[in-house]
Chain A
Amino acid sequence: MIEFLKGYEDYFGDWVWEMLIASLVTMELMLLSFILACALGLVIALMRISQFSVLSGLTKVYIGFFRGVPVLVILYWIYFAMPELGYKILLISSFTAAVLGLGIHGSAFLAEVFRSGIEALDHGQMEAALSLGMTPSQALRFIILPQAARVVLPPMANYSVGLLKETALCSIIAVPELMLRAKDVASSSFLPMHAFVLAAVFYYIMSFPMMRLAEHLEAKMAVGR
């Protein structure tokens, strides 16, 4: 153990600093993807439960596709493939490609979370709202969605933890986040073990508060029954 820690002697200071900066990119990446996934996911969920069968059907395919495919494929597609397909306008930076990839992939997952959150609500709530003379959209806005919001918070918190970990994949498409920094540092120092273990520590520090928040929300939801 002490032997192992000795290995950090020459590098620790530099590594910590570099990884700290890279972690900021990681968090930025995570935040932007999260926002995109939530916003897009909500829109998709509402379309999925809409009464227009075309909309509902299309979003069903969308959700099924993105949930059945690894996020890595999506990242590759946006970063490598799309420019080739002539969408040269979208010769976007790796960071943007990452946000889009993670966000779109996540939106499918969250759409299902939102949808089951809305549908899990007691049927009677919708009926009561409608029988008081509210239109479906009024019922959704004032009665259904406020309640659904409470239900979807725990899965959203869980998703954010998973999203943080997914940012590591973006190193494969050259986004300058923590994992890429760890790889660089590992290869230049020939100390892969030390480099990746330190990176793991950074990831754990970042995910720790989010995991505790997710647990707290889950516990709160369970009690409220």
Chain B
Amino acid sequence: MEALVRIIDLHKNFGSLEVLKGISIEVTKGEKLTIIGPSGSGKTTLLRCVNYLEKPTSGHVYVDDKLIGEKKVNGRYVHLSDRELAKERAGIGFVFQRFNLFPHLTALDNVTVAPRQVLGMQVAEADEMAMEMLEKVGLAHKAGEYPERLSGGQQQRVAIARVLGMQPKLMLFDEATSALDPELIGEVLKVMRELAEEGRTMMIVTHEIQFAEEVSDRVIFMDEGRVIEEGPPKEIFSKPRHERTQTFLHQILER
């Protein structure tokens, strides 16, 4: 099984604060990898480094065997500009904690804007494809609505449809349900579960332990910028080996 994602010795500093202290991970094609850990552990930063929304201080990221975010110039690695990064990012889907829907566009237009401007899709084709995506997340009937009229759960589902519209090879979920009211979380998890069953490669940062248990192939526990433990969900959640993993799970499940 080829690795779709290879993260090699990733370090990230914000000023003097070391957030990622040498992360190396591989994600095989079709694998669902879940990353859990306390806040400040660096899991969001790690995810944002994969599509280069954060530029790593050192280390490399490969997606589909292509080096992301850098190019070699005279033997040295140089970060790419946002303009150069655009092409690479198109194939990586990122779902934000706060949805980040475009408020001035309808749900349908939110899904079609990137395929049209980035992939050059024609309007009719894009609209058709977008309706399919909205159908997939159960929101075809809301295609003409503006984000402010949609509930949090609906907005996040549109955000997922928006990502799907670009036909990504990899999907990154950054605490996709953390900003939702409890009763709205279920509808988003349902969509994520369906995507997982389709065989997509997914990297998921979440606090939803039960969901992670159901959906993941592998779980990674991060703390203070390092990978502490990794393994199949059954192992991590029922028989964690490390003390820190145990403490974290206790705290999070005690709720």
Q: Does B211 interact with chain A (Cβ within 8 Å)?
A: no
Which chain A residue shows the least CB distance to B101?
A: A128
CB proximity to B under 8 Å, residues A116-163:
122, 124-125, 127-138, 142-143, 146-147, 150
**Interchain CB contact under 8 A, A135 and B162:** no
A137–B104 Cα distance when bound, in Å, is 18
Residues of A within 8 A of B163 (CB): 132
Q: Which of A51, A133, A146, A150 contacts B89 (CB 8 A)?
A: A133
* Nearest-Cβ distance from residue A153 to partner chain B, whole angstroms: 13
CB proximity to A under 8 Å, residues B59-104:
81-83, 85-87, 89-94, 96, 98, 100-104
- Could you show 25 A-B contacts with beta carbons less than 8 Å apart? A51-B81, A122-B100, A125-B102, A127-B53, A128-B94, A128-B100, A128-B102, A130-B82, A130-B85, A130-B89, A131-B51, A131-B89, A131-B94, A132-B114, A132-B162, A132-B163, A133-B86, A133-B118, A134-B86, A135-B82, A136-B82, A136-B83, A138-B117, A138-B118, A142-B117
- Tell me what chain A mostly uses at the interface: helix, strand, loop, or mixed: helix
**Interchain CB contact under 8 A, A131 and B104:** no
A residues contacting B by CB (< 8 A) are 51, 122, 124-125, 127-138, 142-143, 146-147, 150
Which chain A residue shows the least CB distance to B51?
A: A131
Which chain B residue shows the least CB distance to A149?
A: B104
Total interface residues on B, using CB and 8 Å? 30
Residues of A within 8 A of B222 (CB): none
**Interchain CB contact under 8 A, B118 and A147:** no
Q: Does B113 interact with chain A (Cβ within 8 Å)?
A: yes
Q: Say whether, besides A132-B162, A133-B166, A127 and B96 are in contact (CB < 8 Å).
A: yes
* Nearest-Cβ distance from residue A155 to partner chain B, whole angstroms: 19
* Nearest-Cβ distance from residue A53 to partner chain B, whole angstroms: 14
**Interchain CB contact under 8 A, B83 and A131:** no
A36–B13 Cα distance when bound, in Å, is 45
Q: What per-residue 1/0 map shows which CB atoms of B158-175 lie under 8 Å from chain A?
A: 010011001000000000
Scoring B53, B83, B114 by chain A CB atoms within 10 A of each residue's CB, the highest score goes to B114
A128–B117 Cα distance when bound, in Å, is 14
Which chain A residue shows the least CB distance to B92?
A: A131
A136–B89 Cα distance when bound, in Å, is 12
Residues of B within 8 A of A128 (CB): 94, 96, 100-102, 159
CB proximity to A under 8 Å, residues B118-136:
118-119
Residues of A within 8 A of B90 (CB): 132-133
* Nearest-Cβ distance from residue B244 to partner chain A, whole angstroms: 31
A129–B118 Cα distance when bound, in Å, is 10
Q: Which of B53, B87, B104 contacts A133 (CB 8 A)?
A: B87
**Interchain CB contact under 8 A, B103 and A147:** yes
A122–B103 Cα distance when bound, in Å, is 11
A130–B86 Cα distance when bound, in Å, is 7
The 10 closest A-B pairs by CB, nearest first: A133-B90, A128-B100, A124-B100, A132-B114, A131-B94, A135-B86, A133-B118, A135-B83, A136-B82, A133-B89
* Nearest-Cβ distance from residue A94 to partner chain B, whole angstroms: 43
**Interchain CB contact under 8 A, A147 and B104:** yes
Residues of B within 8 A of A143 (CB): 102, 113
Which chain A residue shows the least CB distance to B109?
A: A142
A122–B87 Cα distance when bound, in Å, is 23
* Nearest-Cβ distance from residue A146 to partner chain B, whole angstroms: 5
Residues of B within 8 A of A150 (CB): 104
Residues of B within 8 A of A142 (CB): 113, 117
A177–B102 Cα distance when bound, in Å, is 45
CB proximity to A under 8 Å, residues B12-61:
51, 53
**Interchain CB contact under 8 A, A127 and B100:** yes
Q: A124-B96, A138-B86 provided; 4 other pairs, C-beta below 8 A? A: A127-B100, A128-B100, A128-B102, A137-B83
**Interchain CB contact under 8 A, A131 and B162:** no
* Nearest-Cβ distance from residue A136 to partner chain B, whole angstroms: 5
**Interchain CB contact under 8 A, A133 and B114:** yes
